[in-house]
Structure formats: structure tokens, C-alpha cells
Amino acid sequence: VSSSPAPTDRVISVAVPVPGLGLLSYRAPGSGPLAKGARVRVPLGGREVVGCITDTQAPTNPGHTLRDVIDVIDPEPFVPPDVVDLALWVGEYYASGPGAALALAMPPASREGARESFARTRVLELVPDPPASDARLGDKQRVALELLRAHPEGVPTADATAKGIGSGTVRSLVERALVRIREDVRWRDPFATSGTDGPAAWSVAGAPLQDVALTVEQADALRRLEDGLAAGVFRTMLLNGVTGSGKTELYLQLAARAVTAGRRVLVLVPEIALTPVVVGLFRSRFGDRVAIQHSGLSDGERHDQWHRIRRGEVAVVVGTRTAVFAPTEHVGVLIVDEEHDSSYKQDEAPRYHARDVAIVRARAQGALVVLGSATPSLESVQNARAGRYDEIRLRRRVMNRDLATVRIVDMREEYAAAGADVTLSRPLVAAITNRLGRGEQTMVLLNRRGYATVVFCRQCAASLECPHCSVSLTFHRTQRRVRCHYCNYATAVPRRCGACGGEFLEQLGIGTERIEADVRTAFPGARIVRIDRDTVRRRGAVTRAIDAIGRGQVDIVIGTQMIAKGHDFPGVTLVGVISADVGLGLADFRAGERTFQLLTQVVGRAGRGDHPGEAIVQTLYPGHYAIQAAAAQDYDAFYAQEMQFRTAMRYPPTVAMISVLVKGRSAEAAMADALDLVKRTRRRHPHGQVVGPAPAALAKLKDEFRAQFFVKGQQRKPMRTALLAALDERPELKRRVIVDVDPVSVL
DNA sequence: AGCACGCCGACT
DNA sequence: GTCGGCGTGCTC
């Protein structure tokens, strides 16, 4: 290791997979090819790591002695250079550093330097022009040749073995040059294993193979989208369309147009559970030129899908937020479905928002972005109304279906009439009875798991808290235990109060388990299924449950927000919301927005088939604007009210915001460190606003105490610079500080 | 993230 | 006298 590079040596910039580290410079001896995006093995401290070249001509850093690259793994770019730039942007904007951001753009094993490797199947096939031979064949050999003649495409060795053709028979046939062995790449196809119809399913049952006829409104929208695509320049279009207005069909037809023009299409969906449906729709139009990218794939599946995309074999990539880094070239359209959904924000470093990254990617490549939602984020609508996006409205449902009629039930009246224990209001019970009689389905939403949310002592008023977090424990009746929904701590329900020894423990607050029990009691003959994180933990369980509902094997579905998202159930004509206000009380500036979105989405589940839908919304706050606007399906009313609140409180999107969470071993220590950072940040950010510190809403989590402050301003760059400079003065705090740029949740 | 260094408590 | 607990600092 010497300090000054010899003239022939090149100095390169490398992103290493170490959080908090910037780009490092290394010497690349020799004259082999060096490409931006290629992987290199480099020394780092006392170990070796695999990094990614971000620049083949780096400045020599005078402060450091350069070390030599150990090995150049790829002669060509592994990560496409424009995706390298995208990752570098993410690393800077979200203050995570380049290494962690670049890891998002690489499939798992490749981060350890593994080369492309596909699974292979050995397949037997006949040699086309076998040499004439007078040798006599045995019975087994004749059977084998017969089988191969019947299958000119070849027979996998495993199938041959299953039919009694042993390896000895095969060997002698190969020696006689009558049969040969071919090695096929076996795609580890995630759709085949997690799909609903077995390995042969290329399309979702009933999905139309061709474009379906559009309504006048849809046709107008499609024309505007196609104009945007044809322009061939960067543009963002907000497709703001009520539930059931047929946005997906527009995605499909727009994608077809892009593919015809030789451009690739990226489709982002919020959740893994939604990928099979969307992939199915795209496969029914684009066949096997559709790839999948999401974190639920096995490493092998992910590897195969990634390399298919990288080789340019696919036209459409469908996936969750990570798919925004797919190694696709010539992207013409990026579609972000349900753009408001909080799953697009990663809740660990790098804390990126895939919708915003999609926009950055499109800008760099001159592509069109389509943001679709029935309940767009305030951010997107504000951008549209400021002229930065084009807004396309779809105000009507397809097939002239009406929006569901919504009835708000004031639960205070129900309590007065039937006691404070009541969970199912009289109108809801009557409506469910009515649906059961007609053979129609009901969906019941309660966005809270468990049986009771609080176990409360009637003698001393203490409630059962998690010993590791500052939250109450939730009672789960099926497990006969109380559990913490944050750290998963669980324990048997105590007989007596831990504080006073009193024997009168009472359960308050209801969850889906309790609703399931109450619904079963009220409707003994009904077929009931509950869908929440507790019932569908295994891979494919959601899909199976959703299938059963789709086939009409269920009368009443009870669930958390899981059931509200995306899935189209034609048999559901009634939606009941148990406590519409769950979530409204949270100390989060987006509480109202979340409630409005969830209610609007779930009410939109009602009546997509031939029958009109009805929704019954139970609440203690019937006058709240989020509930009122959702009931009226009036986005504009909600937007106006919510923007007033955000403006008054100086919350996003009226200001830019960075949330900073400081952890400590005591509440006081966390507050003291946070206060120190606040002062240092404030000094460097005199024109902005630094708010706090205060104990975080979740003041203690997994035995760590948390203090929080917010940096607000108009431009993110000076805010981020000020904060990072403050952190550089207290480097020992870096491990205990979480910086979240554009936070989606501040809990 | 690793890994080394370093400074205090419980064992051979 | 050493082993090892995890705080702190560094990595081109």
C-alpha cells in the first residue's frame, strides 16, 4: 500500500455497504476494464467488502492513503449506471449514505460478490440424426425411446425416473448416441408458487386477454396519458379517480402503448399481497414478458427475476417499493398505484419514498409518471394544483355503477339504547341479516387486532403496560395471553392487578378478535373468516383467504386494513366499519388523512358487482370532517379542510420536514442529547424552524427511551446540511439517531 | 455494519 | 493476575 498512485493506476470511487460511510477512493492497478456500476472487492479496515463503482475517475483524497482494489468482479456495469445515480440521489436526499442505498439496487447474493447463477434442470431428448446401429435394444431402452418420441420437447430426468427409466438405461442410451442430455435454465417463478391456480397459470382466472371497452371518461383520461407518453419528456400525471373508476385498465392500455413504442414499464403496488393480482392482469396481456420484484421472493426467485430484467428480457416489471430500483433500461412509464399508501415509505434506512424516487428516476430518463389513487396524498394534490403535475379526474365508476350509500351511526346513541358493551349497532345487525338472507357478502372493518386493547384495574385504575415499551398490552383471547404489538412481548393474563393486587381486572377497547366473537354469536349459521396479521402469517395465506371470498365460500369477512386495500370482491354489497375513529386519536399529523383514506377505500369495496353497495360507519365522532368527507366520498372537501390544518400547524406539505429521533438509556439522557442537537442545528439553520425536543409519542420502545425533534423549512437542502453538520460535532450520537426526511409517520 | 481498542468487574 | 462486558472510534 503506497500513497501516491503510479501514473498508470486509476483511482475509482466506491460505495461500500456500510451505513454512514461516504464514497471511498481506491486505486485500481492494471489495465482491466473499469465500469460505473461494476462490483469490486476492496479492503476496508481489517476486512474485505464488496462495493460498487460509482465513478471511474475519482479525485484522490489527500487526507487518506489509497488502498488497492483486490478484485474487479464485473467487467461491465452490474447495476445499470442510471440506477447507480438514482441510488446515490437516495443516499444523499434521505441522508443514509450511498452504501445502504446502492444495496437496494442489487439482488441479495450479489452483494457478497456472487455471480449470476441460475438453477438448471436436466432434460432428456432424442438425438436428431442417430447413427445407424445394429446393436439390439433392451425393453427398458425401447420404452425410453418411445417416451422421448412422444415428447419431442424433451423429458426432465426426474420425470423419466418416475416412469421407471433408471439412470443405467439413460447412460447406455447416451453412450449409443441415441439420447442426449440438455440443461435448461429453470426459472424460479414466484408467480407459479404463490399464484392461485398452480404452475400453469399465466393469467388470472377470468381476466380479459384484450383491452376492455372504456367509458367516455376513461377514454379521455387514456388519451391524455398517451399524449404524455408520446411527448417523450418527463412529466407526472396524477390519476385521481374514485374507487371502481377503472384505473387499472388504463394502466394496462397505457403500458401496451409504451411497450409497442419500445419502452419498458415499471408498475409499483403498495403491498406484496397485491402483486399476484396485478401481475396476473399484466401477464394476461404481456405473457411472460412480465417480471416481479418484491421482498417476499426467495433469494433464488429474486435473483432470476432481476437477471431477466437486467438482460432486457421483460417489458413490464411489477413490484413493491424496491422495484423502483429495477435494472430496467429504456423506461418509458412508471406507474405508482395507490400512490398515497404509506407502504411506499421504507421504515428503516434508507428511509426513501418509492413514489418520490420514481419521479426522480423518470426525470432523469425523460419518462412519464402516473400516480393513481382514489385518495391521493396531500403532497401530490398540492403539486398538481401548483401546476407541477397534470391532474386527471375520474368521477364515475365503470358500468354506471353507483358509489355506495353511506350511513353514519352515532355510537353514543347505541350505547344509550343498548349499553356500553355493544359493538355491533342495530343498523349494522339489520343490514347483515338482510345480506345473509339474500346470499350477499359483508365486509366488517376494524383496524385493530386482538380481543381487548387495554386490561384495566377497576380498583386502582392502572392498566397493564408492556415492561419494555410505553404502550398498553393487548389481550388475545385465542392465545389466552396479553401481547405488546410493538415488541411482541407476551405473558399470561394476571389474575390480580400488579399495582394494587386488586382482583377486578376489566377489558376495555375492542379488536378484530372480539368482533369475530360477537359476529359469530349474532349470526350463528354464517360462514365467517377473519383476516389480520394474526390469522394470515404464512406465505400465501392472504391469497387463499381472498380466493375463498371471491368464490363465495364466505358470508362475512372481518379484518383490519388488510381487507380494505385493492382487492375487488364483486359479492360484497355491505361494508361495516366498527370504529371509524380508531387512529384519529393518534398523535400523528397524518391521523386525519389516514382515517379518510382507509374509510374511503373500504367504503369503495362495497357494490362493485351488479348490486349497489351500502356502507355503515360506526363512530363516536360523527361530525369529524375526515369521517364526513369519507362518507360523502368527497375528496375535495377533505383536501380543503386538511390543508387548513396543515397550514395552521406548519405541517407537510405546506413545509418540508425532517424528523429526528434520539434514543437513550433514560428519558433524561435522550432529551439532553436531543436538546444539544437542536441547539447545534438551530445555529446553522437560522431562517428555518427547529421544533422540540419532546419525548416521542412512543416514548419507550424495546427498553430504549426516545426523544424527538423536527426541522422545518422551505428547502430540504439547508435543513439537511444544518442537521448533518450538528451530527458531525457529536459523532458518537450517530448510532442512536434516526433521521427521517419527509416522514410519513412521526410516531 | 464489523472490528479493534480500551477501560472496569468476576473468575482461575 | 487474566477473561470479557460493551462504549467509542474508524474504515479510502
Q: Using the CB atom, is residue A49 less than 7 Å from strand C?
A: no
Q: Using the CB atom, is residue A21 less than 7 Å from strand C?
A: yes
Q: What is the pLDDT of residue A322?
A: 95
Beta strands at A331-337 and A368-373: parallel, antiparallel or unpaired: parallel
Closest C1' nucleotide to A42's CA: C12
Q: Pick the closest to residue A268 from A133, A361, A405 (CA basis).
A: A361
Residues close to nucleic acid strand B (C-beta < 7 A):
A 18-21, 45-47, 735
Q: Note the CA–C1' distance, A43 to C12, in angstroms.
A: 9
Closest C1' nucleotide to A21's CA: C11
Question: Do A451 and A581 touch, CB atoms closer than 8 A?
Answer: no
Q: Note the CA–C1' distance, A17 to C11, in angstroms.
A: 12
Which nucleotides along chain B are within 7 A of a protein C-beta?
1-4
Closest C1' nucleotide to A27's CA: C12
Q: What is the pLDDT of residue A619?
A: 94
Q: Note the CA–C1' distance, A44 to B4, in angstroms.
A: 13
Q: Using the CB atom, is residue A43 less than 7 Å from strand C?
A: yes
Give one DSSP letter per residue of A432-494, joined into a string: HHHHHHHT-EEEEE-S--SSEEEEEETTT--B-B-SSSSSBPEEETTTTEEE-TTT--EEEPP
Q: Note the CA–C1' distance, A680 to C5, in angstroms.
A: 33
Closest C1' nucleotide to A63's CA: C12
Closest C1' nucleotide to A44's CA: C11
Q: What is the pLDDT of residue A394?
A: 95
Q: Pick the closest to residue A707 from A744, A733, A680 (CA basis).
A: A733
Q: How many CB atoms neighbour CB A620 within 10 A?
A: 15
Question: Which residues, other chains included, contact A97 with Cβ-Cβ below 8 Å and sequence gap of 6+?
Answer: A18, A19, A20, A21, A22, A91
Q: What is the pLDDT of residue A302?
A: 92
Q: Note the CA–C1' distance, A47 to B3, in angstroms.
A: 8
Q: Using the CB atom, is residue A672 less than 7 Å from strand C?
A: no
Which nucleotides along chain C are within 7 A of a protein C-beta?
7-12
Successive 10-residue mean pLDDT values, chain A, 747 residues: 58 91 90 93 91 90 82 95 96 93 91 87 85 75 86 85 85 87 82 42 52 90 96 96 91 96 96 86 93 90 94 95 96 97 94 97 97 96 97 89 89 90 93 93 91 87 86 87 87 86 86 92 93 79 82 92 80 91 87 93 80 90 94 93 95 96 87 91 86 88 89 94 90 89 91
Q: Which of residues 683-742 of A touch strand C (CB under 7 A)?
A: 731-732, 735
Q: Using the CB atom, is residue A59 less than 7 Å from strand C?
A: no
Please tell me which residue lies nearest to nucleotide B1, judged from CA to C1': A18
For cell 375528496, the residue is A635
Q: Note the CA–C1' distance, A646 to C12, in angstroms.
A: 45
Q: Note the CA–C1' distance, A732 to C7, in angstroms.
A: 9
To which H or E segment does residue A692 belong?
strand A689-701
Q: Note the CA–C1' distance, A458 to C11, in angstroms.
A: 57
Rounded Cα distance between A448 and A455, Å, is: 15
Q: Note the CA–C1' distance, A660 to B10, in angstroms.
A: 40
Please tell me which residue lies nearest to nucleotide B2, judged from CA to C1': A47
3-class SS of residue A350: coil
Peptide bond into A350 cis (omega under 30): yes
Q: Note the CA–C1' distance, A351 to B10, in angstroms.
A: 43
Q: What is the pLDDT of residue A196?
A: 38
Q: Using the CB atom, is residue A65 less than 7 Å from strand C?
A: yes
Distance (Å) of CA A607 to CA A207, A274, A535, A544? 19, 20, 26, 22
Q: Note the CA–C1' distance, A20 to B2, in angstroms.
A: 13
Closest C1' nucleotide to A48's CA: B2
Peptide bond into A653 cis (omega under 30): yes
Q: What is the pLDDT of residue A208?
A: 65
Rounded Cα distance between A171 and A301, Å, is: 32
Q: Note the CA–C1' distance, A19 to B3, in angstroms.
A: 15
Question: Which residues, other chains included, contact A592 with Cβ-Cβ below 8 Å and sequence gap of 6+?
Answer: A584, A624, A625, A626, A642, A645
Q: Note the CA–C1' distance, A222 to B5, in angstroms.
A: 64
